[in-house]
Amino acid sequence: MPFAAREAIRQRDPALFERLLGRGVFDPREDRLAEALQTELLRLGCYDGRIDGAWGAGSERAVERWRDAAQIEIAAAAGVPLYRAILRGGEVTCPEIARPAPAVAAPAAPRQPRAGAGGGAGRAAAVKRRPAAAQQPAQPAQKPGTVTINPKFTGAGIYR
């Protein structure tokens, strides 16, 4: 039953509302219970997640916030007793959910010039050079038509 219709009954006849609530007239189907709980908790400002019908840590935190606001002790498990307690609680609203401020990167410190660096010849001296590759000994010239075996391939089944 939509919230507006339930609230109209509550305002017109609180005793009737309580009898209907106790008989389960407002209860959702079992497969839609978690979704109905999330919807009510969202309406009261206690839930900040998606209404997906999956009862998890976010839904349980929402119940904790609602229990604190309503000052009611009830299990956080999704069930009909919790749903009825939320409806019975009326317009209990949760305090605003504190969200962490987005992280702001600190401005980068300006680069300090290195000692001796400045430009021209001084800068060229500061650049490190890579060592030259080790010189390979010269390979002896091969006769045309000869085959050599690379020692890296030993044991690889390349010999013929």
Q: pLDDT by residue (tens digit) across 76-128?
A: 788 999 999 999 987 888 877 766 667 666 666 667 666 655 555 555 555 55
Q: What integer pLDDT is reported at residue 17 of this predicted model?
A: 94
> Per-residue pLDDT for 45 more than 70?
yes
Residue 78 burial by Cβ neighbours in a 10 Å radius (0-12, 13-18, 19+) = buried
Choice between 90 and 35, residue whose per-residue pLDDT is larger? 35
For residues 21 and 17, what is the distance between their CA atoms, to the nearest angstrom?
A: 6
CB 58 within 8 A of CB 48: yes
Q: What integer pLDDT is reported at residue 126 of this predicted model?
A: 54
Residue 110: how many other CB atoms lie within 10 Å: 5
Choice between 11 and 134, residue whose per-residue pLDDT is larger? 11
Choice between 125 and 139, residue whose per-residue pLDDT is larger? 139
DSSP secondary structure letters along 93-151: -PPPPP-PPPP-PPPPPPPPPPTT-SSHHHHHHHSPPPPPPPPPPPPPPPPTT-----G
Q: What integer pLDDT is reported at residue 42 of this predicted model?
A: 93
Mean pLDDT across the stretch 55-68? 92
- Dihedral of alpha carbons 137, 141, 144, 148, sign: negative
Percent of the chain with pLDDT over 90: 44
Q: What integer pLDDT is reported at residue 94 of this predicted model?
A: 83
For residues 87 and 69, what is the distance between their CA atoms, to the nearest angstrom?
A: 14
CB 26 within 8 A of CB 6: yes
Q: What integer pLDDT is reported at residue 76 of this predicted model?
A: 79
Q: What integer pLDDT is reported at residue 34 of this predicted model?
A: 94
For residues 160 and 158, what is the distance between their CA atoms, to the nearest angstrom?
A: 6
- Dihedral of alpha carbons 71, 76, 81, 86, sign: positive
